[in-house]
Structure 1
Amino acid sequence: MSHEQTSPERNSVNPPQDDTTHFGFRHVAKDQKAGHVAEVFHSVAGKYDLMNDLMSMGIHRLWKRFTIELSGVRAGHRVLDIAGGTGDLTMKFANLVGPSGQVVLADINASMLQVGRSRLLDRGYAGNIEFVQADAEHLPFPDNHFNTVSIAFGLRNVTDKDQALRDMMRVLKPGGKLMVLEFSKPANPLLSKIYDTYSFTALPMMGQLIAGDSASYKYLAESIRMHPDQETLKSMMEAAGMVHCKYHNMTGGIVALHVGVKP
């Protein structure tokens, strides 16, 4: 597994001041980022699944399947799916925990949560799924409550990632597993260059053609570049108190699944 330094593209953006944070490549006040992110996901919610398939050429389904396989979720477990959006992981978890278990689909964005709720109810999921609008930095759940916490393609949009990781650990039971599936840093410089070109040209173009919104997909591409690389995120999980932290690169490191355990 290759671990390279942060890309020049990331380092070229000045670090934010104490009272600001990154929103893509822009600096915004920390208390304004959540509102900006909400506007993006309100805009893309209706076409979210279609755009996921187009942007990843369907490969996102394999990334999520691998996450499910490594989760170790079993019948009777409690699972929290943060930034669960349209419910891809929630559906799989609900099948695994069965009628004696529970899955909470949590999302800070009301539009995404409504799309996910409608999709799951339309497919007959109801009894073991709860829908909660929640901020990842301040989870409205008791300590030591969940066997597994997952967050897929959501951590990069969180303002205070360290605080969110600490709160995820808080709600996990001892021995429980945190799974962070997120875009990351390609290991191969050539792949990284191709990926950059694709992200900053094709994604906004597809966003405009399919969803009528190029700006939101430009932000999504920028937010991926500003997200911590594999080793940095692993260190952040360890700093939050997780043990046995490791990550699995997929599609050349374009995506990584980080896993940690609450001691």
Structure 2
Amino acid sequence: MIAPLVGMTNLVLGTVYACYGVMTLVEMKRGWRTNGFSHFGAAWLCMAFTCGPHHLDHGLHVLMAGRVGGSLDLLTIAVGFPVGVAWFLLRVEALFGGRGDRTIAGTPVWLEAMPTLAASYVAVVAASITGLAFGVERLAPRAWPNVLLVLLYAAIGVLLLRTQLRTHLKSGQWSASGLSLAFVMLTCAVMHAVYVAYASAGRYDVDGHGLVIDTVGVPAAAYFLWVTWALHRGWLRDWNATSTLDAPERRPELIGAPT
């Protein structure tokens, strides 16, 4: 029962990423003539069309090629799925002229509990990965691109979360879009860490096209990290990050919530 769930949820996630890539293309085409090239849009385009194929490839291998989907894989997908869908739905709303974001005033109880829940989740996953890796002398060579993706996605997520924390300290508010994007990146980092563990333990094979997808995903994630950092520091102006905000200290609140 676990394997079909792992396969189907990965196919859904892959489709969501692919749809978001198409949406980003539409948004960039709309704004290109009047606002010029968008690094933020291009970075998301690269991410969408590398993350999407990764999940589609993994899902198809689980459903059709006998790759054994594990319970830890299912857990990480179940945790990351809601925030991914939330981010996607906000972008759909923005595409059709809606707000594309929600303001969260103060710090609700569920958000206050998030650090504790996140720490508990990471501890459980880390302990499970340690169990999987017991007896493994070295990482699978073809899993190394995923190791880099773990580091890059975690760095992006931490940076986005940091901007949300700084904005909250100034305004007392949170951005639902910004928080969901930060959580997407952090949960993706955990998913790829589990993928590395299963691959190194021999549970998941990493074939040629999967290796190509993940290898291409590394520079795509690095580009996204650079764009996010540049916007955060005020080094880069981008209409997707609201070009009317010139002060770097005000700009971060909209990173992750392009309009």
Q: Aligning the two structures, in what range does the TM-score lie when normalised by the shorter sequence?
A: under 0.3
Which structure has the highest strand share of the two? 1
Q: TM-score, normalised by structure 1?
A: 0.27
Higher relative contact order (CA 8 A, sep 6+): 2
Q: Kindly indicate which of the two structures has a greater share of residues assigned to helix.
A: 2
**Bigger radius of gyration among the two:** 2
